[in-house]
Amino acid sequence: MNSKEVTKKVIKKEELFILDVRNQNDFKDWKIEGEKFEYLNIPYFELLDGVEGILNQLPKDKEILVVCAKEGSSVMVAEMLSEYGVSVSYLQGGMKAWSEYLEPIKVGDLKNGGELYQFVRIGKGCLSYMLVSNGEAAIIDATRMTDMYIDFARDINAKVVHVFDTHLHADHISGGRKIAELTGASYWLPQKMRRK
């Protein structure tokens, strides 16, 4: 299962059982959250000798997703569970992919034509925006995952002409300058952020 599919489950408030095989501290610090998600956290090193001991803790009637940091451990655990007939999948790219995924959501139509999209970095809670009008796009507070914005603009037949960073970002690394370089767009910064 990829991050886009998990995001859809969060948005649609669907059920999902997550077996998180990262260490307990990482799980306590940060996990995939959904209103109808259930969790079991058992570090993968406790499962190296087999998964028999946790089979009775897994639901028989719910979709099960195994999650780890980068994917490798979750593949191993999912394969072991599958050998016992458990219907299971793993998160492609692990929590690293989850932390970088952006979901574009249309949040409004402009009065005189055009749309406003919010790019939700659901794994980290960051928001960025794309304003589209007359085939042109302006991107506001982009993250470093620049391909998502450029690909999305191309898919909706919009040319990126402006990129804005509204403040110094404490929650992410800006991709604004890179997007401007790749697209030829004007790059706008607040006065305090401009180089002298």
List the catalytic residues.
68
| Measured CA distances, 176 to 35, 56, 163 (Å) | 32, 49, 6
Tokens (6 digits) for 181: 């370089």
H/E segment holding residue 97: helix 94-100
Element (H, E) at 20: strand 16-20
Sheet holding 103-109, edge to edge: 103-109, 115-121, 126-133, 136-140, 159-164, 186-188
State phi, psi for 103 to the nearest 5 degrees: -110, 115
52-71 burial, b for 16+ CB within 10 Å, e for fewer?
Answer: eebeeebeeeeebbbbbbeb
